[in-house]
Amino acid sequence: MALNATIYTLTVELSDVDRNVYESLDLRMAREPSESADYFTVRLLAYCLEYAEGISFTQGVAAGDEPAVWVHDLTGRLLAWIDVGLPDAGHLHKGSRGAERAAVYTHRNAEQLITQLSGKKIFRAEEIPIYALDPRFVADVAGLIERRASLSVTRSDGELFVDVAGQNFRCEMAEHRIAG
């Protein structure tokens, strides 16, 4: 018997000072049985930090050739391809070629990812930001997200603040680029 995804109902107060985006989000997010809590959390944070009209989750780790999150305009044109974790060069190439912009959010070793991607065929590789989140920060936040939860997510001057379950967490968001 196949295991089903667990549905999370999340309320997020988003204050992205760096992009001047302030929203109250009511999200229903599926977590696949094979998806780690950390990956799920980074996928949620990527959604919040890339929030724009037309944003949506894909099927996460079950998405295959899709990113974790993407943005489409009203005509269906792909505007943003947002990957999570350690995407391979072919996946990023496809996303960067098909969308106006691409980005990666990772809680893994960013230097290892950059080394893995450097010199590979990736369309507009130098334009793809890789945002590194501290793995301990991600694990701490992930450990408190329940199936029904309220969070506050704030980005200001490159720092990320998350309040969940009465606890506050802070992380510097390091931005990296792929060497050409």
What pLDDT tens digit does each residue of the chain (180 aa) get? 357 889 999 999 999 999 999 999 999 999 989 899 999 999 999 999 999 999 999 876 666 789 999 999 999 999 999 999 999 999 999 999 999 999 999 999 999 999 999 999 999 999 999 999 999 999 999 999 999 999 999 999 999 999 999 999 999 999 999 876
- Beta strand residue intervals within the chain, DSSP E: 6-16, 21-31, 55-57, 69-72, 78-84, 101-106, 129-132, 148-156, 159-164, 167-172, 174-177
Evaluated on CA atoms 75, 72, 62, 129, the torsion sign reads positive
Cβ 38 vs Cβ 145: under 8 Å: no
Question: What's the pLDDT at 65?
Answer: 84
Question: What's the pLDDT at 81?
Answer: 97
Enter the pTM of the model. 0.94
The CATH classification number of 6-177 equals 3.10.640.10
Q: What does DSSP assign to residue 121? A: -
Cβ 105 vs Cβ 44: under 8 Å: no
Question: What's the pLDDT at 60?
Answer: 64
Q: Where are the domains of the chain?
A: 6-177
